Amino acid sequence: MSDKYIARSTAIAARMLGGEMMVMSAVDSTFFTLNEVATAIWQAADGRTPLSEIVARRVCSEFEVEPEVACRDAEQFVDELSQHGILLVSDRPLDNLSSSPVEAP
């Protein structure tokens, strides 16, 4: 995996509901729910940590996923969210623009 840096867009809304993260783009009103693994990646998208490191630290170690599978899935997830402007992707570190979502009790 080539090093990519990901940051959450400022034009999104997000909230945890029943263990899933709801994310909605203010730009095109696309609505997503993220599973636990995707949520972990999304929450770690601080613009400074390379995606490979996020996958290694937050996915492989916490969810018992093979690194190869985790990397492939993460790339696909990042591509999809970036197409809707929900994640910003760069090959250089980005300023993290968005705060972390509050988790419902």
Partner 1 sequence: MTLMQEMNERALELGVPMGVHLDVTYRCNERCVHCYLDHDDHGEMTTAEIKDVLEQLAEAGTFFLTLSGGEVLMRRDFFEILEHVRRLLFNVRIKTNGVMIRRQEAQRLRELGVEQVQISIYSHRPEVHDAITKLPGSLKRSVEAIRFLKSQGLKIAIANVLMTANMGDHAGVQALARELGVTYTLDPTITPKMDGDASILRLRIPGSELNAVFHNQDLVGNVEEFCAPPPLPGEDIMEGYPCSAGHTAAYITPYGDVFPCVQFPLPSGNLRRQKFIEIWRHSPELNEVRSIRAKDLPVCSSCSHVGKCTRCPGLAYMEGSMRGPSTADCEKSFHRTGILTANMLRKARSNAPGPLIQIQRLAVQSAT
Q: Which of 64, 91, 95, 99 binds partner 1 (CB under 8 A)?
A: 99
Q: Which of 1, 22, 44, 60 binds partner 1 (CB under 8 A)?
A: 22
Interface region with partner 1, contact rule CB under 8 A, candidates 11-19, 34-42, 43-51, 66-74: 11-19
Q: Which residues are CB-contacts of 104 (< 8 A; sequence separation ≥ 6)?
A: 15, 16, 17
27-86 residues in contact with partner 1 (CB under 8 A) are 27, 29, 31-33
**Residue 15 or 48 with smaller CB distance to partner 1:** 15
Identify the CA nearest to 33 among candidates 72, 1, 77, 75. Answer: 77
Minimum distance from CB of 98 to partner 1 (Å)? 7
Q: Which string of b and e fits 28-58 if b means at least 16 CB within 10 Å?
A: eebebebeebbbbbbbbbbbebbbbebbeeb
Interface region with partner 1, contact rule CB under 8 A, candidates 7-15, 43-51, 54-62, 87-95: 7-15
